[in-house]
Amino acid sequence: MKKKNIRQSILWMIGIVLLALISSKYFFRIDLTAEKRYTLSAETKQILRQLDAPIHLNVYLEGDLPAGFRKLRTGISEKLDDFKGYAGKRLTFHFLDPAEDVKKREREQFYAELNDIGLHDVTVNKKNKDGSLSQQKVFPGAVITYKDRMAAVNLLSNNRIQQADMVLNASLEALEYELIRTIHALSADSVGKVTFLTGQGEASRAEAYDLGKEFANFYDVDIKAINGQLNALDSYKAVIIAKPTEPFSEKDKYVIDRYIMRGGKLMWLLDAVNANTDSLYSMGFTFALTSDLNLDDQLFTYGVRVNPHLVQDVVNNPIIVTVANGNSQPAPAPWLYHPLVQPSQENMITRNLNPVWLRYASDIDTVGGSESGIRKTALLQTSPFTNLKATPAMIRLDEVGKPIDRQYFNKSKLMTAVLLEGKFPSVFRSRNAKNLFPDITEPQRSLSEETKMIVVSDGDIAVNDVRNTPQGVVPANPLGYDRFSRQTFGNKDFLVNALNYLTDDAGLMKLRNREFQLRLLDKQKVNDELPKWQIINLLLPVLLWIAGGITYGMWRKRKYGRIKG
C-alpha cells in the first residue's frame, strides 16, 4: 500500500514537471467569455510573431489613480501579457508614473513633451487624505519604440456624450486595435503612400497640418498636383481631396477616374456651398454661394450627390459674439450652421466616436438603386431637428438672437458623410479618352476593380485653426479643437479611421467592431440586499468548513472502524 502511494506521488510529480515544461514552451489560453474578450485575432498574432526586432512600450498609467483608470491599467497589462505570449522576449513594457519623483517645473516640462509627441492628458479630480480635492493630470496612453521609430497611442476613448463606465468599456474594446495598428505601422518594412491633392485651391499646408501629422504616424504623406499628368496618382494607396475651391479640369477628372478604375481609394471632403466667416464677423453678414467644382457628374456616376443646401441643426457648436448686455462682453451663442453631426454606432469607422464638428455643411443623397452593385453606408448624420436652407442665401450674424422654432426644423438625420464600396462605373465610359490624351495607348475601362471611397459634404472637417504671424500662416490648434468651448470633437479620429479603413490591407479595422457586453450591477438591488449578502459571505464559508470537518471525521470513523472490526 505504501509503495503504491509512493509510486503515485512520483508519477504525479513527473506529470506536473512535464506540464510545466510544455506550458513554458507553448503558449495557450482557454477563453470562456461569451464575447471572447481575451482572444487575440489571427492578424494580431501574425504581426506579433513576425517582429524582427525588440519593441518596447512605456505605459503612463501608474501611481495613485482613480478607480476607472486602475481598471484600464489592468486591462492594458492583461492585453500586453497576451501580446507577449506571441511576441516573446521581443516585446517588453513598463508602467510609469509621469509625476513621480520630479519637481513641479520638470514635471510640467515632461507633460509638455508627452503632449508634443501626441499623448493626450486628462484632468481628473483627486481626493486627498485630508478630504480635500485637487486636480491630477493622467496620461492614459503609451509611447511605443521600435528600432529608431517612435509613436504615441492614446488608449482612453474620448466620447464625451457617454457615461464614464461606457467610456471605459469602449476603451477596453478598442485596446487590441489601438495597440496593434501602431505596432504594425512601426514594424512594417514599408508604409503605404497617401497624398493630399493640390492645384484646385485646396486647404493649405498650415490648415491641414494636424491631419497630415496624424496620417504621418501610419503613412508616407505627400502633396500632389495632377496638372494633367496621366500617371500622377499611380503610386498612392489613397488620395485625399480636402476642401477644393476651384473647378477640376476634364483632364484631371479623367486622371482621378482612371485611378479609381484601377482600384484606387479616395476621400472626398467637399464644400457644395461657400460661406465666408471673416465677412460675417467684419460686416455682420455673408453670402452663401454654390460652389462650382465641376464634379457633380462624376460623383453622380459613382452613386452620390452633394446638394447645394446649407444644413441648419438645433444640435450645434456655438460661436462667440458680442452680446449687448450692458458690458458688451463676448459670449457663446448657438450657431445653426455649425452642426454637431452624430457618428453611426453601427460602422467600424465611426463606432464610439465623439460628435463631429462641421461648418456650413450640406446634405448628401445617394443615387442609383441596388442594381448598381455599389454598397452605400451612412457614416455621419444630423440630429432629428434639422432644416435645409437653399442657396444662394444671405447669412446674418443677428440670426443668433432668434428663438428656435422646432416646427421649422422638420427634417431628421440627414446624411453628411457616406461610405461607397463596390465596382464603380467610369464617368468617361461613353467618351473617348484620346480627346483628352491623344497619346494614350492603354485600354479604357468602363468599370472599376473592387474599391471604396468616402464622401463628406464639408471640407472644413479636415481644417485646423490657423493664425497669422510675421513668419506667415501657422497652425494654431489641433484639428477638431474649439478654442472657445475648449472641447475636442471627433474630426481627427473620424478621418484617421476613414483612411485606415480605405487602406486596411492587414484587416485590422475589423477589430474596432469588437463589443464587450457591459454587465452592470443593479445599484438599488445591491443597497437593498447588502445586509443579506454580507451575512452569507461571513457565515457560509465557516459553516461549510465546519460541515466539511464533521463529514471527514465521520468518514474516517466509518472507514477505520470497519478495518478494526
Q: Given this model, what pLDDT does residue 405 score?
A: 80
Among residues 251, 248, 247, the alpha carbon closest in space to that of 291 is found at 247
Query: Is 173 contained in some domain?
Result: yes
In angstroms, the CA 365 to CA 231 distance is 31
| Alpha helix ranges (H) inside 88-196 | 104-116, 164-173, 175-187
Burial label for 31, CB within 10 Å (0-12, 13-18, 19+), is exposed
Between 199 and 108, whose confidence is greater? 199
Exposure of 428 in the CB half-sphere (CA atoms within 13 A): 23
pLDDT at residue 564 greater than cutoff 70: no
149-154 and 193-198 as β-strands: parallel, antiparallel, unpaired? unpaired
Is residue 106 domain-shared with residue 226, that is, in the same domain?
no
If one counts the domains in the chain, the total is 2
pLDDT band at 10, cuts 50/70/90?
confident
Residues in contact with 75: Cβ distance below 8 Å, sequence separation at least 6, in sequence order:
171, 172, 175
Query: Is 16 contained in some domain?
Result: no
Name the domain boundary from 186, 206, 228. 186
Is residue 353 domain-shared with residue 261, that is, in the same domain?
yes
pLDDT band at 203, cuts 50/70/90?
very high
Q: Given this model, what pLDDT does residue 34 score?
A: 60
Lowest-confidence segment of 42-46, 77-81, 215-219, 516-520 by average pLDDT? 516-520
Lowest-confidence segment of 156-165, 359-368, 369-378 by average pLDDT? 156-165
pLDDT at residue 371 greater than cutoff 90: no
Per-residue pLDDT tens digits for 15-46: 777 777 766 655 556 655 665 666 788 888 89
Backbone torsions φ then ψ of 330, nearest 5 degrees: -60, 140
Report the percent of the chain where pLDDT is more than 90. 42
Is residue 265 domain-shared with residue 149, that is, in the same domain?
no
Task: Say which CATH number the domain at 88 has.
Answer: 3.40.30
pLDDT at residue 106 greater than cutoff 70: yes
Are the beta carbons of 495 and 260 closer than 8 angstroms? no
Task: At 474, list the grid cell.
Answer: 501657422
Q: Given this model, what pLDDT does residue 64 score?
A: 81
pLDDT at residue 105 greater than cutoff 90: no
Q: Stretch 503-511: mean pLDDT, rounded?
A: 79
Per-residue pLDDT tens digits for 521-560: 566 777 777 888 888 888 888 888 888 888 888 877 777 7
Name the domain boundary from 513, 534, 557. 513
Query: Is 127 contained in some domain?
Result: yes
Q: Given this model, what pLDDT does residue 93 score?
A: 92
Q: Given this model, what pLDDT does residue 9 score?
A: 72
Q: Given this model, what pLDDT does residue 503 score?
A: 92
In angstroms, the CA 242 to CA 116 distance is 25
pLDDT at residue 230 greater than cutoff 90: yes
Name the domain boundary from 186, 211, 228. 186
Query: Is 14 contained in some domain?
Result: no
Burial label for 282, CB within 10 Å (0-12, 13-18, 19+), is exposed
Is residue 180 domain-shared with residue 275, that is, in the same domain?
no
Q: What DSSP string describes 500-552?
A: HHHT-SS--GGGGG---------HHHHHHHHHHHHHHHHHHHHHHHHHHHHHH
Lowest-confidence segment of 92-96, 177-181, 277-281 by average pLDDT? 277-281
Q: Given this model, what pLDDT does residue 139 score?
A: 86
Between 300 and 100, whose confidence is greater? 300
3-state per-residue secondary structure call for 166-191: HHHHHHHHCHHHHHHHHHHHHHCCCC
Report the percent of the chain where pLDDT is more than 70. 88
Is residue 176 domain-shared with residue 218, that is, in the same domain?
no
In angstroms, the CA 313 to CA 410 distance is 10
Query: Is 349 contained in some domain?
Result: yes
Is residue 261 domain-shared with residue 311, that is, in the same domain?
yes
In this structure, which amino acid lies at residue 39?
Answer: T
Query: Is 29 contained in some domain?
Result: no
Task: At 213, list the grid cell.
Answer: 501629422
Is residue 310 domain-shared with residue 354, that is, in the same domain?
yes
Task: Say which CATH number the domain at 247 has.
Answer: 3.40.50
pLDDT band at 463, cuts 50/70/90?
very high
Task: At 66, list the grid cell.
Answer: 482613480
- The average confidence (pLDDT) of the chain is 85
Name the residue with cell 452569507.
536
Query: Is 384 contained in some domain?
Result: yes
Q: Given this model, what pLDDT does residue 532 score?
A: 83
In angstroms, the CA 453 to CA 172 distance is 29
Q: What angle do CA 413, 483, 204 make, to 5 degrees?
A: 80
Is residue 114 domain-shared with residue 223, that is, in the same domain?
no
Radius of gyration from C-alpha coordinates of the chain: 30
Query: Is 549 contained in some domain?
Result: no
Is residue 129 domain-shared with residue 218, that is, in the same domain?
no
pLDDT at residue 518 greater than cutoff 60: no
In this structure, which amino acid lies at residue 458?
Answer: D
DSSP-assigned letter for residue 442: S
Sheet holding 141-146, edge to edge: 91-95, 55-59, 141-146, 149-154
Between 50 and 157, whose confidence is greater? 50
Q: How many CB atoms lie within 10 A of CB 234?
A: 12
Is residue 229 domain-shared with residue 318, that is, in the same domain?
yes
Is residue 201 domain-shared with residue 234, that is, in the same domain?
yes
Is residue 207 domain-shared with residue 132, that is, in the same domain?
no
pLDDT at residue 422 greater than cutoff 70: yes
Task: At 200, list the grid cell.
Answer: 484646385
Quote the crossing angle between the two packed helices 67-87 and 175-187, to the nearest 10°: 50
Question: Residue 116 is part of which domain span?
Answer: 38-186
Name the residue with cell 498609467.
61
